[in-house]
Amino acid sequence: MKIKRALISVSDKSGLEKLVKVLNEYGVEIISTGNTARMIKNAGYEVKTVFDYTGSAEILGGRVKTLHPKIFGGILATGSENDKVDMLKSDIMPIDMVIVNLYPFEKMCQSDDEKLAIENIDIGGVSLLRAAAKNYERIAVVNSPNQYNDLIAELRKNNGKISTAVRKSLAVDAFAVTAFYDSAILNWFNREKQFPEKRLLRIEKINDLRYGENPHQMACFYKDADFVGPGLSDLEILGGKQLSYNNVAEIDTLWQMVSDHGNENFCVILKHANPCGAAIGCSMTDAYEKALSTDPVSAFGGLVGFNKTIDSTLASELIKRFYEVVAAPDISENALKLLKTKKNLRIVRFPEMLKITENYNFKRVRGGFLVSDFDQSDDRFDSFKVVTKIKPAELLKKDIAFSWRMVKYVKSNAIVYVKDQTLIGVGAGQVSRIDSVKIAAMKAEQSGFDLRGAVMASDGFFPFPDSVEVAADYGISAIVTPGGSIRDQLVVDKADALGIPMIFTGIRHFRH
């Protein structure tokens, strides 16, 4: 299909002059609106304004420019005999190409100025794109300056014509743009509703992944277009293999965990999305060595994260072992050189420490989504409640708070033991809580830790006092738990009887 007449109305005018030059070379008549027409005329090209063509001026301060039968008739006409008769009666000329991009609503709605956001809701532009996309068998629709180079190449290749396959591809892009645009508007209007009746997920593909959770599964990574702030699509990959599906999922947990620890020197080692080592140290290298001591066997092939810069001293220790991923907010030049000696090691730089700014967490289930807000809570000791008559020693308060931050990230049923702000035992994913109590103790003992004087944290309440009795046998010095069981008093009384302080957080941290 040869392009004879084009309608151009763009908010973003970058690259337009180059495209107009090519259209002019092929003798394409150009119809355009206000500022776009002035730019084309100033560039030295002939242009007919919408007013010249329709006889109707822009009204309402520019809110109505192109909403006219001579414009939309020229776009929606199919070329049938009946359409030709109607067009002749109304003096409508066929339009073969529509070049439109939309008001920058998504940018403007970030402002607190609601009037500014509303004025940037494009009406005519969306209508033009949809009309042209619907009629792709006769019309080429262009929605972004990013398409201009390919469009020019197509015109030159086919002597001013656009193939059906390209027109259809452009139509798909146009419908995607208008759908995304309308979704942004709906979500903006719903921004103050916790759970609106309708919410549209706006996600855009970033890249393919090597495979899914398992090698026989295909996968890719999509970015949430409504996410405000740094996200996983902003990670810098400084070396190593392409990130896998599991890498991305676990880096998300890694990033959350290191972000929980402010200015402390913190290191965490993850394996299958569970921490198998974590510690606060007097330096980053000290934190790493303490975290590794938690479970050096399970650390093999894990992911290691830090909340501060990796220097060359730390890097020289990291390269002694096999890890899938090493991640930190910064990595010194010499450290990066050392880490890159491990060819397949994925080296990741976080853009900054993570702050949860999203309102929703989505989980896919068959035929739907589960939607909740994020598990965020105050993890300071002062926000907890000591429920036993016996009180914890002052020195234990840091371990109590640290244990609560750790158990939040362990799969339920979860038990952790902490000593000197070091994770020393993890019991994860058991269907019986007391089994997690025993497994965490077994792991601690395998790594050579003495549980006497340690703090035990549980992600859920204790339904029976049996876990407290086992903890007493291990010499545990304090127990942290949400509380909330109908047998809470029985459990608290047992802790008092055994001389173990019990702390209720009032918040459960189930993780599935």
Q: Residue 123 — very low, low, confident or very high, per pLDDT cuts 50/70/90? A: confident
DSSP string over 223-256: EETT--S--GGG-EEEESSPPPHHHHHHHHHHHH
Tokens of 181: 């645009």
Which residue did the predictor score with more confidence, 282 or 509?
282
If DSSP codes are grouped into helix, strand and coil, which group holds residue 368? strand
pLDDT given at position 508? 85
pLDDT given at position 354? 66
Q: What is the mean pLDDT of residues 43-58?
A: 83
CA dist., res. 488 & res. 495, Å (int)? 11
User: Beta strand pairing status for 325-328 and 346-349?
Assistant: parallel
If DSSP codes are grouped into helix, strand and coil, which group holds residue 314? helix
Residue 448 phi/psi, 5° resolution?
Answer: 85, 20
Q: Residue 437 — very low, low, confident or very high, per pLDDT cuts 50/70/90? A: very high
Which residue did the predictor score with more confidence, 198 or 7?
7
CA dist., res. 335 & res. 470, Å (int)? 45
| Model pTM above 0.75 | yes
Taking only the tens place, the pLDDT of each residue in 393-402 is 999 999 999 9
DSSP 331: B
Q: Which of 107, 157, 193, 272 is catalytic?
A: 272
Q: Which of 134, 241, 397, 438 is catalytic?
A: 134
CB-based contact 140:166 (threshold 8 Å): yes
Q: Is omega for the bond preceding 413 within 30 degrees of 0, making it cis? A: yes
**Exposed, middle or buried, 489 (CB in 10 Å: 0-12/13-18/19+)?**
exposed
Q: What is the mean pLDDT of residues 47-76?
A: 81
Residue 348 phi/psi, 5° resolution?
Answer: -125, 135
Q: How many CA atoms lie within 13 A of 303 on its CB side?
A: 27
CA dist., res. 154 & res. 367, Å (int)? 41
CB-based contact 455:403 (threshold 8 Å): yes
Taking only the tens place, the pLDDT of each residue in 188-243 is 888 888 788 888 888 889 999 989 999 999 999 999 888 877 888 889 999 999 89
CA dist., res. 358 & res. 156, Å (int)? 46
Contacts of 194 (CB under 8 A, 6+ apart): 359, 373
- The percent of residues above 70 in pLDDT, for the chain, comes to 99
Which residue did the predictor score with more confidence, 224 or 292?
292
CA dist., res. 130 & res. 125, Å (int)? 9
pLDDT given at position 193? 80
> 315 vs 251, 275, 306, 458, 509, CA distance in Å?
19, 20, 12, 34, 33
Q: Could you tell me where the DSSP H helices lie in 77-163? A: 81-90, 105-108, 114-119, 124-134, 148-157
If DSSP codes are grouped into helix, strand and coil, which group holds residue 508? coil
Domains of the chain and any CATH numbers? 5-190 (3.40.50.1380), 228-349 (3.40.140.20), 380-504 (3.40.140.20)
Tokens of 335: 């450290």
Residue 342 pLDDT greater than 70, yes or no: yes
Kindly report the average pLDDT of the chain as a whole number. Answer: 90
Residue 512 annotated as catalytic: no
pLDDT given at position 114? 82
Residue 119 pLDDT greater than 90, yes or no: no
Taking only the tens place, the pLDDT of each residue in 297-321 is 999 999 999 999 999 999 999 999 9
Q: What is the mean pLDDT of residues 460-485?
A: 95
Residue 65 annotated as catalytic: no
CA dist., res. 180 & res. 129, Å (int)? 13
What stretch of H or E contains 168?
helix 164-189
